[in-house]
Amino acid sequence: MDKIEALQILGLFHVFFIFPAHSSLDAFLYGGCSQIKYAPNSPYQSNVNSLLTSLVNSATYSSYNKYTIMGSSSQDVVYGLYQCRADLAMPDCATCVARAVTKLGPLCPQTCGGAIQLEGCFVKYDNASFIGVEDKSVAMKKCGPSDGYSSDEMSHRDAMLASLNGAGGAYRVGGSEDVQGVAQCVGDLTAGQCKDCLSEAIRRLKAECGGAVFGDMFLAKCYARYSTSGAQIYANQHHESSDHSESEKTFAIIIGLLAAVALLIIFLTFLRRLSRGKGK
């Protein structure tokens, strides 16, 4: 076993086995898989494993990242990214991404591409490049029950959505009277692509959810959501403090295991050099 193999095996161990389920951050919203499958134990499977390991590792210090894992042939190249909701603390982000990866395996067994959106994070990989490509196809739509809104109440909702559309940045929050909303673009989009995507998400949200007490419109590269009178809660500060404490413990486990991986690689490298020296 060389040090690259050791890194992959240990990386997959901490991806798939150390995260107990808790908190609404890992609530499943939607997922999808490609139709094409890869062969077991193929170079592409190895690259997918390396990619997912990299995504989980990166989520311990960054709320968004993208990777391209190259192969010996163009057929083995895999592209991937993750993104956490921007209001999450890093322990929550790392925990959410790890759980998303664990859910991707059963959801998309041996498929060349897969995507999953949890309440707190998004993960996607594919053998075709999608990085920086705008995609406004509908991934999920959910509308709450109609509450017989008055024109004033509808105007508050529309004013809040307009403020989200006019704001800058990839992550946006807003409120008007008893209406709250949140919107976010995937980090690989440019500012112009993000504005275009959110404009479409908000247009669809208003048209298709009408006077619903809450509405979610997830496009492939962005989403917009609103809620009235606490019908839905999006902000991280509403999560129980025990959940946050548990996430901090999980975060510490991740950091500790990454340190253990580094030490093991150094140890294996030392043994390999020592055995080579004795063989001379």
Mean pLDDT for each 10-residue chunk of the chain (280 residues)? 34 30 77 95 96 97 97 93 96 96 95 97 97 97 81 83 89 86 96 96 94 94 89 53 47 52 52 58
Q: Do 22 and 101 belong to one domain?
A: yes
Phi-psi region of 23 (alpha: psi -120 to 50; beta: other; left: phi over 0): left
Instruction: Let me know the angle formed at the C-alpha of 167 by 204 and 192, rounded to the nearest 5 degrees.
Output: 75
Q: Is residue 271 part of a domain?
A: no
C-beta neighbour count of 94 within 10 angstroms: 28
Q: Do 43 and 120 belong to one domain?
A: yes
Task: Give the pLDDT of residue 210.
Answer: 87
Q: Do 229 and 147 belong to one domain?
A: yes
**In terms of C-beta density within 10 A (0-12 exposed, 13-18 middle, 19 or more buried), how is residue 63 classed?**
buried
Q: Do 150 and 186 belong to one domain?
A: yes
Q: Is residue 217 part of a domain?
A: yes
Distance of alpha carbon 95 from alpha carbon 90, whole angstroms: 8
Residue 59 CA, distance from chain mean position: 9
Q: Is residue 185 part of a domain?
A: yes
Q: Do 111 and 157 belong to one domain?
A: no
Find, among 194, 206, 220, the residue nearest to 139 by Cα: 220
Q: What is the pTM of this model?
A: 0.75
Residue 55 belongs to a domain with what CATH number? 3.30.430.20
Distance of alpha carbon 95 from alpha carbon 138, whole angstroms: 27
Distance of alpha carbon 13 from alpha carbon 196, whole angstroms: 40
Q: Is residue 249 part of a domain?
A: no
Q: Do 87 and 144 belong to one domain?
A: no
Q: Is residue 274 part of a domain?
A: no
Q: Do 126 and 210 belong to one domain?
A: no
Per the structure, the complete domain to which residue 123 belongs is given by: 3-131
Q: What is the DSSP string of 28-94?
A: EEEEEE-S-BPPTT-HHHHHHHHHHHHHHHHTTT-SEEEEEE--SSGGG-EEEEEEE-TTS-HHHHH
For 53, the token pair is 């390991």
Q: Do 112 and 225 belong to one domain?
A: no
Task: Give the pLDDT of residue 221.
Answer: 97
Q: Do 145 and 113 belong to one domain?
A: no
Q: Do 160 and 41 belong to one domain?
A: no
End-of-domain residue from the set 108, 131, 154: 131
Q: Is residue 164 part of a domain?
A: yes
Q: Is residue 240 part of a domain?
A: no
End-of-domain residue from the set 99, 131, 163: 131
The owner of tokens 């997922």 is 31
78-84 sheet: strands from edge to edge: 28-33, 114-118, 121-126, 78-84, 64-69
Q: What is the pLDDT of residues 69-83, one digit of tens each?
A: 998 899 999 999 999
Q: Is residue 55 part of a domain?
A: yes
Q: Do 120 and 172 belong to one domain?
A: no
End-of-domain residue from the set 82, 112, 131: 131
Specify the 3-state DSSP secondary structure of 175: strand
Specify the 3-state DSSP secondary structure of 174: strand
Task: Give the pLDDT of residue 240.
Answer: 40
Find, among 200, 193, 223, 212, the residue nearest to 118 by Cα: 223
Q: Do 7 and 116 belong to one domain?
A: yes
- For the chain, what is the domain count? 2
Task: Give the pLDDT of residue 14.
Answer: 29
| Direct distance between the N- and C-terminal alpha carbons of the chain, in angstroms, rounded to an integer | 20
C-beta neighbour count of 199 within 10 angstroms: 15
